[in-house]
Structure 1
């Protein structure tokens, strides 16, 4: 069976503008949530689009696409992979989006209302669209492999990686996967308010608190991560020296309960976890730690905790570092995968973000914990009932030699 490995990581997040900067900040426990416009948000600071993205594309695209293009460039550089040096059909782009280009769209709608239709940019037709980042990335890098966008809200980042592995198994050697979001415009925030899951707190330390006894809702954030996924044998042939890990297992389920209200039990999330483990051919006892979805509401955290206890039957270490940056919609799941891979690399599990009073009868990681793990399971859930789980494995150094 073809093995899909991750060879490059690019991060644009409130916690940093590179993977290593994000990793250092996460281990330090830095909180990157602040009160802006009378609402808590996880904003990316210091992001200079003009220094990272072609000015012509800046005019044509939304902020979330700027972040995606920048993170993609970083991931490709990290993997030392240039799509232009390969057959155009050898590279695919599969990204996730749950929000789209809402900031660009709001600006153009305001122009329509205030100045009439002649004031609306022609780029409005494409900049807001969920697939805008996929299309612009494919055009910029000349990729012609199977391209797609996954729209499953917070679960999308994992779904994109699951799709990347499927594409690689079908014969495309490399896939650009992951996702970024920028859902902090007034229009986007109003859309999120309808869920009833946003925190009403104005105190960053009292806001988004995954698995905390005082959890009261989530803080919206922006950013995410893009990863380069490759066929292990092809990567070995081109002389890759660095592999962060292997996508060993993946599964997705849906609650099928209600478009807004959570299911009354954790059966489908539990099923996704079990199927992902079976797909990876690992037992629950082989998993070193879990990176949880950590929705930050008492009900949803309770349901995920119940699923984790049911699947593992032991106090497996659980973290949710996104408490430091906010929930980044589909970008958050991709960022959690990047964090999990760096944790495998360095043998240390980051703490649950912004945790004060642990709840839910889990082994919650309160301080960075030294742990030489070989397998990690990552969960992600999307508004409306989406559940996804992915299993990442450490890829042995001799693996590339065998793949050759």
Structure 2
């Protein structure tokens, strides 16, 4: 069987989000439209223009990880390690029972371990180099989640990290699919980001894309006339990917669905006169999946909440599918944008939507009719979903699109 004939399926989901930790808690909250956005509590944000975030307030690392790991890990990595454990348990996988070189880890990261790095830099400035932890050498690094998950679970097969901002989560899943097609038995993939600390906050503000609203219910409003930027969040999702034949051979209880198609493009320079690359990314992802536009039952939008970016995304969706021709979901209005973790969380939501026959709502949004989108708002919508398209865009012109399909 050639690599392109291999079906890469998702058998486990590990979710950590501001509106729920764990797959079931997240999905129950998301279906009901429960927001996890509020005022920043992880540091004093009073002096900053942006003061709202999607924080995870029900994660206690000591309850999930051994004490020896805590001094050497950033909050981002602690959440990722717990999410990996949850994904493996959901898939019914005990890594000790599989060949160590037959399992790999490919994650994405947007910021690395900013909170850990800030703490150690403060120690350097205020006390001197002798007070800087040796773990700083890797705890801040973009690849640290892949490395720590690999070490904890004995996964010594193909591994790596992808850095392409918000698009990175889809890019990592696609890279994992490539390794499955090359013969690796199991891949852990997806992303978790968490950089709600002063250093991380200032870095995020440099994009000029953060909402400065003080109202959590009206701060993050994609496709709304009042849109004025996004609310940052922390968390994401990790997925267990397998060859369908391998999953069936071990008699897996649940196959959520298939990673059926993927593509990525880069936008041209703003002054080039050429169109953005998002439409092309969507078309290529559909072609990779062997799907026509009418085969897609829901689109999970990138939902940037800036008029120019919203307009470009709405135009791409309408160009491919037709105006108001496909339901559009934006559940990240409940969590904030989780950077590299956002798109894997949307992929998880897409598979759960297929399972339960519902499209989760965007909350707080009054869509602008000019965008021509059928945005699902207010409450969930019943739907027969067999295929979903997930869109993600990263700062700097990254565009990625992924087709998730039932099997």
What TM-score, normalized to structure 1? 0.95
Give yes or no for the alignment of 1:301 onto 2:313: no
Match of 1:402 in 2: none
After superposing the two structures, state which structure 1 stretch, 163-172 or 50-59, moved more: 50-59
Structure 1 runs not aligned, ≥5 long: 396-404
Q: Deviations over 1:161-216 (max 9, x none)?
A: 10111000001011000000112111011011111100111111121111111111
Match of 2:30 among 18, 22, 26: 26
Secondary structure of 2:251's aligned partner: coil
Alignment equivalent of 2:141, drawn from 125, 129, 137: 129
For residues 2 and 156 of structure 1, what CA distance do their matches in structure 2 show? 23
Partners of 1:211 and 1:116 in 2: CA distance: 49
Q: Contact between 1:273 and 1:389, CA under 8 Å: does it hold in 2?
A: yes
Q: How does 1:341-352 map to 2 (within 5 A)?
A: 341-352=351-362
Q: State the match for 2:326 in structure 1.
A: 316
Paired residues, number: 392
Distance (whole Å) between structure 2 residues aligned to residue 66 and residue 104 of structure 1: 11
Q: Deviations over 1:339-362 (max 9, x none)?
A: 111001101001123313444111
* 3-state SS in 1 of match to 2:390: strand
**Deviation of the 1:83 alpha carbon:** 1.6
Distance 2:264 2:382 in 1: 30
Cα drift, residue 31 of structure 1: 1.4
Cα separation, 2, equivalents of 1:46 and 1:373? 31
Give the distance between the partners of 1:257 and 1:89, measured in 2 at CA.
42
Change (3 A) 1:245 1:148: same
C-alpha distance in 1, partners of 2:268/2:112? 24
Asked if 1 retains the 8 angstrom alpha-carbon contact of 2:262 and 2:403, the reply is yes
Quick check: 1:80 aligned with 2:92? Answer: yes
- d(CA) in 2 for partners of 1:233, 1:208: 42
CA distance in 1, matches of 2:334, 2:273: 28
Structure 1 residues 188 and 337: alpha-carbon distance in aligned structure 2, compared to 1, 3 A threshold: same
- Find 1:47's aligned residue among 59, 64, 81: 59
* Counterparts of residues 1-400 of structure 1 (less than 5 Å): 1-36=5-40, 37-38=45-46, 39-257=51-269, 267-314=276-323, 315-359=325-369, 360-366=371-377, 367-395=379-407
Q: Which runs of 4+ in 1 moved over 4 A?
A: 263-266
Give the whole-Å Cα distance in 2 for the aligned partners of 1:12 and 1:298: 29
Ranges in structure 2 where 5+ consecutive residues have no aligned partner: none
| 1:294-328 residue CA offsets vs partner (Å, 9 max, x unmatched) | 01111111100000000112421001110111000
